[in-house]
């Protein structure tokens, strides 16, 4: 709108700049030592609103350089956001100094060499170009929905752009750029509320105002919520509720967490732990997924079947974990799957691009075929109660409804649940087509709505 | 630092800001860990940047950058002004700030031993000594220990003439022994779970924690939990150790008293609060033994919520929150204080780093110790039956802070004034005001500890903040115990 909007910064990090900085780092690394750099630049802007007005509106730009030095199976990391020559030299010195203090680690591997990455396109100029005025205009439209419905709105509308590069002295070079546009909205009525959230790399693919209308309808429909006794109920979990709960399970598919005996899969890998209708992949290349095609060491991410028709089929492995797995499991042939965290770290790896296979039952059909159950929009404050049976606790929030005789009925006061995620995945009786969904407790996933029998609600709160 | 800050302030004011504040923060962070006899990670990071918050046409804008050239800073300041102008297009009222004297001060937190001057060698050796002790106990399958140190050197200036330079050093350390056996994973931590103890202190904190001394007992308890009885489900008497009570305060007092929650500003993410404005001076929050303060002053102790000035230039204060059980105070910032007609902020605006906007955060929210001498042993001796729970394992509370459930690492059954047996998987739940009204005894000053919670999340974009919580062991009656394992 105004020339002043061009105060919005732009990304500077390019593969060429990354190589220049890498060369600068290498000048301070002694012969015989290995070095890896990770460069990240991010620009993110977020407009926040509450009580039908913008209450906070922020922007940040930052770049970080993280240096890992490797000497005789020893390694350490130092990071800085100062990219002048002296600061880079000092950061390299710090990394080398920390490295020399380590004992050699017999499990440490040499730096990986050049890799090939499948192309992904997750950066959109349309998203990077959004101005504060344009964000405010969209928020103004969302607030207008609230005012027209005599409701109170609160939420966010944000855009971001980022670039990252990973280079090492064995010749590996990886570069990735992406953008993201995201909204989240809560609509508040006198004693009820509704919620919706969505995101996409391309700002043109999200519909904040349409989602605001859906959240408003939930707030209106759940007015004057009634209290239902806690107990075992059939629940219909909308995708955001399903992902926030199940996100706590997938950390356990880290091979290192199994080796460390802190995973619920310890001693149970390969077993049929879940229902026949449950199949889950980690798939960074799924068209609804986001994120870089390489891991914290620059290894290409692979598509991995974590759960295959109910069987805990595969784990994910960082390079070092795969080596250790093969040493500790005679006859095993584990290979790195491209899910490692930046080294050094004590957690190994994790799947972060979860895709849960869906079914053919729409959300509407799930409701229509339910004699008595509970529809859950969203879950909140989920925490692990017991790691091996994977009991999780948390609350429902912002739109919990009684379903009776195939129809959505009264709004309900919110429940506390204590539910095993493993048992849950044995009690799924219907799945919708999967969608890209976003919650607040776990990372985004491609996930269906789920109809689940015997979901264990233990208490009811006051609203 | 001063030049950078002045470039930003001048640009913001010239571009039309009616109020502007600038924080330049230079932060250093060291983190170390060991796991099963090896170094887990060693990292050292620094970060320098500037955050600029402005009011234009009665609305907020904020921009942060680490491009610290004059053009980079001036562009960020201009961007903050442009953002504020955009905010003003969707407003219902102008932001008003309650007055605050413009301070000119330089302050450093107490730090007896600079943790960055202690060699990494020594720090790793200490962690590995703990590791050896933990793994000396048969049945321990995972031993993890860590240390973390931060130094935050910040210059704050604003368009009202404030110039506040603060250097805060924090330290943290702790460990956990995990034991996997058959179909069960149990763990015990020292001195607290999820990272141990954290305070506004130097390496003296690590020294005083005497980490190695406690390791064998902690490991033995982790293994013993496998053969302990399951905590029963019943309604009865609960005694909490001071660290678990600290987290109980954090979740069921500290968050609901945040005025931005109360006013609906966190409704979309962190949630709101049952403490609506009509409840101020009009709610029996707890029993008459419940006295809670928000205290950021050094006199309260070296907490993660201790400072001289908050991140909008308001001096550290002590505010009564609950006095003899009555709810009497919120925690606020300059704009939210104005919204409810208070004439001064009580100084609780804090930002995670230079790249985040200040928001209402807990300082040190502490329950005051009992005035009558009472030790934990005497508290147990005076209890006919119940469960004593130690060290948090899980925590969850609804988005208005009524219904909570906590799990602890270990419980001890109390019969006739004695701890008679260990209980595994203990948990309890309740409604906030009912819970605090059931407190009937709290131990005295000698047993009071100012715990640090280093990982409190709030805000969009989310910010992680360290908060302090002083507590001594306390007893609660008629509490639902064992609910986490209740089956319908």
Q: SS in 3 state form for chain A?
A: CCHHHHHCCCCCCCHHHHHHHHHHHHCCCCCCCEEEEEEEEEEEEEEEEECCEEEEEEEEEEEEEEEEEEECCEEEEEEECCCCHHHHHHHHHHHHHHHHCCCCCCCCCCCCCCCCCCCCCECCHHHHCCCHHHHHHHHHHHHHHHHHCCCEEEEEEEEEEEEEEEEECCCCEEEEEEEEEEEEEEEECCCCEEEEEEEECCHHHCCHHHHHHHHHHHHHHCCCCECCCCCEEEEEECHHHHHHHHHHHHHHHEHHHHHCCCCCCCCCCCCECCCCCCCEEECCCCCCCCCCCECCCCCECCCEEEEECCEECCCECCHHHHHHHHHHCCCCCCCCCCCECCCCCCCCECCCCEEECCCCCCHHHHHHCCCEEEEEEEEEEEEEEECCCCEEEEEEEEEEEEEECCEEEEEECCEEEEEEHHHHCCCEEEECCCEEECCCCCCCEEECCEEEEEEEEEEECCC
Q: Mind telling me how many Å the CA of A118 is from chain B's nearest CA?
A: 31
DSSP-derived letter for residue B382 is T
DSSP-derived letter for residue B352 is S
Provide ipTM, 2 decimals.
Answer: 0.97
For residues A415 and A457, is the Cβ–Cβ distance under 8 A? yes
Q: Which domains does chain A have, with CATH numbers?
A: 3-208 (3.30.2290.10), 225-463 (no CATH)
> Which residues on A lie below 8 Å from B353 (Cβ)?
none
> Which residues on B lie below 8 Å from A94 (Cβ)?
44
Which of B359, B460, B485 is closest, CB to CB, to A156? B460
Bridge partner residues of A316 (DSSP): A254
- Both tokens assigned to B110: 């107490």
Count of other CB atoms within 10 angstroms of residue A190: 11
Report the pLDDT value the prediction gives residue A5, as an integer from 0 to 100: 46
- In this structure, which topology does domain B2-227 adopt according to CATH? PmbA/TldD fold (3.30.2290)
Rounded Cα gap, residues A380 and A440, in angstroms:
8
DSSP H helical segments within B347-471, as ranges? 376-381, 432-437
Which residue of B lies nearest to A47 if distances are taken between CA atoms?
B87
Rounded Cα gap, residues B47 and A82, in angstroms:
7
Report the pLDDT value the prediction gives residue A4, as an integer from 0 to 100: 44
> Taking each helix axis from N to C terminus, what angle separates B120-135 and B211-224, rounded to the nearest 10 degrees?
30
User: Coil, helix or strand for B210?
Assistant: coil
Distance (Å) of CA B359 to CA A50, B24, B295, B459: 14, 17, 17, 8
Residue B477: CB partners within 8 Å, gap ≥ 6? B236, B237, B438, B440
Residues of chain A with pLDDT under 70: 1-6
Report the pLDDT value the prediction gives residue B399, as an integer from 0 to 100: 97
For residues B5 and B69, is the Cβ–Cβ distance under 8 A? no
Kindly report the length of chain B.
Answer: 488
> Which residues on B lie below 8 Å from A47 (Cβ)?
86-87
Rounded Cα gap, residues B48 and A306, in angstroms:
41
Rounded Cα gap, residues B471 and B369, in angstroms:
7
Q: Identify the residue whose tokens are 């988005």.
A: B399
Residues A154, B267: C-beta atoms closer than 8 Å: yes
| Residue extents of the structural domains in chain B | 2-227, 230-485
Count of other CB atoms within 10 angstroms of residue A128: 18
Rounded Cα gap, residues A181 and A127, in angstroms:
6
Residues of chain B with pLDDT under 70: none
- Both tokens assigned to A338: 């491209």
Give the CA diameter of chain A: 75
> Which residues on A lie below 8 Å from B266 (Cβ)?
50, 154
Which of B61, B82, B484 is closest, CB to CB, to A391? B484
Residues B483, A8: C-beta atoms closer than 8 Å: no
Residues B66, A61: C-beta atoms closer than 8 Å: yes
Among the listed residues A339, A331, A330, A311, the one whose alpha carbon sits nearest the alpha carbon of residue A255: A339
> Which residues on B lie below 8 Å from A397 (Cβ)?
271, 398-399
Q: Does A227 touch chain B (CB under 8 A)?
A: no
Cα radius of gyration rounded to whole Å, chain A: 24
- Both tokens assigned to A415: 């429940």
Among the listed residues A230, A281, A79, A397, the one whose alpha carbon sits nearest the alpha carbon of residue B29: A79
Rounded Cα gap, residues B324 and A414, in angstroms:
31
Q: Does A345 touch chain B (CB under 8 A)?
A: yes
First to last CA, chain B: 61
- Count CB pairs under 8 A between chains A and B: 300
Q: Does A147 touch chain B (CB under 8 A)?
A: no
Q: Identify the residue whose tokens are 């293994």.
A: B223
Residues B39, A105: C-beta atoms closer than 8 Å: yes
Rounded Cα gap, residues B236 and B478, in angstroms:
4
> Which residues on A lie below 8 Å from B402 (Cβ)?
461-463
Rounded Cα gap, residues B457 and A231, in angstroms:
31
Per-residue pLDDT tens for B391-402?
A: 999 999 999 999
Q: For Cα atoms A127, A131, A136, give the angle at the middle one, nearest 5 degrees.
A: 110
Report the pLDDT value the prediction gives residue A175, as an integer from 0 to 100: 98
For residues A236 and A449, is the Cβ–Cβ distance under 8 A? yes
Q: Identify the residue whose tokens are 């490991």.
A: B219
For residues A269 and A310, is the Cβ–Cβ distance under 8 A? no
| B6-10 own/partner pairs: CB under 8 Å, 24+ apart | B6/B157, B7/B70, B7/B73, B7/B74, B7/B77, B8/B50, B8/B52, B8/B73, B8/B74, B8/B76, B8/B77, B9/B52, B9/B77, B9/B157, B9/B158, B9/B159
Which residue of B lies nearest to A97 if distances are taken between CA atoms?
B120
DSSP H helical segments within B255-350, as ranges? 259-262, 334-339
> Which residues on A lie below 8 Å from B178 (Cβ)?
261-262
Per-residue pLDDT tens for B146-202?
A: 999 999 999 999 999 999 999 999 999 999 999 999 999 999 999 999 999 999 999
For residues A450 and A426, is the Cβ–Cβ distance under 8 A? no
For residues A405 and A371, is the Cβ–Cβ distance under 8 A? yes
Distance (Å) of CA B44 to CA A68, A80, A340, B335: 11, 9, 20, 37
Count of other CB atoms within 10 angstroms of residue B19: 18
Which residue of B lies nearest to A185 if distances are taken between CA atoms?
B268
Residues A152, B65: C-beta atoms closer than 8 Å: no
> Which residues on A lie below 8 Å from B397 (Cβ)?
381, 395
Report the pLDDT value the prediction gives residue A2, as an integer from 0 to 100: 41
Report the pLDDT value the prediction gives residue A6, as an integer from 0 to 100: 62
- Both tokens assigned to B431: 């409604």
Report the pLDDT value the prediction gives residue A360, as an integer from 0 to 100: 97
Per-residue pLDDT tens for A189-222?
A: 999 999 999 999 999 999 999 999 999 999 999 9
Residues A440, B269: C-beta atoms closer than 8 Å: yes
Pairing mode, strands A74-80 and B38-56: parallel
Report the pLDDT value the prediction gives residue B488, as an integer from 0 to 100: 75
Q: Which of B25, B52, B90 is the mutation pick for testing A, counting most A CBs within 10 A?
A: B90
Pairing mode, strands B38-56 and B59-65: antiparallel
DSSP H helical segments within B38-167, as ranges? 70-87, 120-135
- Both tokens assigned to B102: 């413009």
Kindly report the length of chain A.
Answer: 463
> Which residues on B lie below 8 Å from A193 (Cβ)?
267
């Amino acid at each position: 709108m105004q020339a002043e909007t061009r105060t919005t910064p732009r990304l500077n990090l390019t593969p060429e700049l990354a190589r220049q900085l890498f060369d600068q780092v290498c000048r301070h690394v002694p012969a015989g030592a290995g070095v890896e750099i990770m460069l990240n630049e991010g620009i993110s802007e977020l407009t926040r609103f509450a009580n039908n007005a913008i209450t906070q509106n922020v922007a940040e730009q930052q770049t970080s350089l993280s240096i890992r030095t490797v000497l005789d199976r020893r390694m350490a990391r130092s990071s800085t956001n100062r990219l002048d020559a002296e600061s880079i030299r000092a950061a390299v010195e710090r990394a080398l100094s920390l490295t020399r203090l380590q004992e050699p680690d017999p499990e440490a591997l040499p730096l990986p060499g050049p890799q090939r990455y499948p192309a992904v396109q997750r950066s959109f100029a349309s998203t990077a170009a959004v101005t504060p005025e344009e964000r405010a205009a969209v928020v103004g439209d969302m607030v207008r929905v609230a005012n027209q419905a005599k409701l109170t709105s609160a939420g966010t509308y944000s855009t971001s752009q980022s670039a990252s590069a990973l280079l090492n002295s064995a010749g590996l070079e990886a570069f990735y750029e992406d953008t993201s546009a995201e909204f989240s909205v809560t609509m508040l009525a006198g004693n009820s509320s509704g919620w919706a959230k969505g995101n996409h790399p391309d700002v043109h693919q999200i519909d904040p105002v349409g989602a605001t209308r859906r959240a408003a309808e939930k707030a209106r429909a759940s007015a004057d919520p009634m209290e239902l006794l806690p107990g075992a109920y059939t629940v219909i979990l909308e995708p955001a509720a399903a992902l926030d709960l199940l996100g706590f399970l997938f950390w356990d598919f880290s091979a290192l967490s199994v080796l460390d005996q802190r995973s619920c899969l310890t001693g149970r890998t390969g077993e049929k732990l879940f229902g026949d209708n449950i199949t889950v992949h980690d798939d960074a290349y799924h068209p609804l997924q986001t994120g870089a095609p390489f891991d914290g060491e620059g290894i290409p991410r692979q598509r991995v079947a974590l759960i295959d028709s109910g069987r805990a089929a595969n784990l994910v492995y960082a390079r070092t974990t795969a080596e250790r797995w093969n040493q500790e499991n005679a006859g095993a042939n584990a290979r790195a799957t491209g899910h490692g965290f930046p080294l050094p770290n004590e957690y190994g790896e994790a799947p972060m691009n979860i895709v849960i296979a869906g079914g053919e039952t729409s959300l509407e059909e799930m409701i229509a075929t339910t004699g008595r159950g509970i529809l859950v929009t969203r879950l909140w404050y989920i925490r692990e109660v017991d790691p091996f049976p994977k009991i999780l606790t948390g609350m429902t929030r912002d739109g919990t409804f009684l379903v009776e005789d195939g129809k959505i009925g009264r709004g309900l006061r919110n429940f506390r649940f204590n539910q095993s995620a493993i048992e849950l995945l044995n009690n799924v009786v219907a799945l919708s087509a999967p969608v890209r969904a976003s919650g607040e407790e776990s990372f985004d996933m491609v996930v269906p709505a789920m109809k689940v029998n015997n979901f264990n609600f233990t208490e009811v709160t006051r609203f | 630092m001063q030049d950078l800050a002045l470039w930003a302030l001048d640009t913001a004011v010239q571009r039309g800001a009616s109020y502007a504040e600038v924080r330049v923060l230079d932060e250093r962070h060291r983190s170390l860990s060991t796991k099963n006899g090896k170094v887990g990670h060693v990292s050292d990071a620094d970060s320098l940047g500037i955050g600029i918050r402005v009011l234009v046409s009665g609305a907020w804008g904020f921009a942060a950058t680490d491009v610290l050239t004059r053009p980079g800073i001036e562009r960020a300041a201009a961007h903050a002004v442009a953002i504020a102008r955009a905010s003003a297009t969707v407003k219902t009222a102008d932001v008003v700030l309650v007055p605050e004297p413009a301070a000119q001060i330089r302050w450093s937190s107490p730090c007896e031993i600079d943790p960055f001057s202690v060699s990494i060698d020594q720090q790793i050796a200490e962690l590995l000594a703990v590791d050896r002790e933990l793994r000396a106990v048969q049945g321990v399958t995972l031993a993890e220990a860590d240390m973390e140190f931060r130094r935050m050197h910040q210059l704050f200036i604003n368009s009202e003439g404030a110039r506040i330079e603060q250097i805060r050093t924090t330290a943290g350390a702790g460990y956990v022994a995990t034991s996997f056996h058959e179909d069960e994973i149990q763990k015990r931590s020292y001195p607290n779970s999820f990272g141990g103890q954290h305070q506004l202190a130097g390496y003296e904190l690590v020294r005083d924690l005497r980490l190695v001394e406690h390791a064998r007992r902690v490991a033995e308890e982790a293994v013993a939990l496998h053969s302990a009885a399951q905590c029963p489900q019943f309604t009865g008497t609960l005694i909490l150790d001071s660290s678990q009570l600290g987290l109980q305060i954090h979740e069921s007092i500290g968050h609901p008293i945040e005025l931005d929650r109360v006013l609906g500003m966190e409704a979309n993410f962190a949630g709101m609060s049952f403490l609506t404005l009509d409840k101020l001076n009009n709610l029996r929050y707890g029993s008459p033994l419940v006295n809670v303060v928000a205290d950021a002053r050094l006199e309260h102790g070296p907490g993660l919520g201790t400072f001289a000035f908050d991140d909008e230039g308001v001096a550290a204060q002590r505010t009564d929150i609950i006095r003899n059980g009555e709810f009497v105070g919120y925690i606020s910032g300059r704009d939210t204080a104005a919204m409810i007609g208070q004439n001064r902020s009580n100084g609780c605006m804090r930002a995670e780093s230079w790249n985040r906007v200040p928001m209402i955060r807990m300082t040190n929210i502490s329950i005051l110790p009992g005035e009558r001498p009472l030790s934990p042993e005497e508290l147990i001796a005076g209890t006919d039956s119940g469960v004593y729970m130690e060290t948090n394992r899980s925590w969850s509370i609804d988005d208005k802070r009524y219904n909570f459930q906590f799990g602890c690492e270990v419980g001890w059954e109390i019969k006739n004034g004695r701890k008679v047996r260990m209980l595994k998987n203990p948990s309890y739940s309740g409604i906030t005001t009912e819970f605090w009204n059931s407190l009937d005894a709290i131990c005295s000053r000698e047993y009071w500890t100012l715990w640090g919670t280093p990982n409190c999340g709030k805000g969009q974009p989310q910010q992680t903040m360290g908060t302090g919580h002083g507590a001594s062991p306390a007893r609660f009656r008629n509490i639902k115990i064992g609910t986490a394992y209740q089956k319908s």
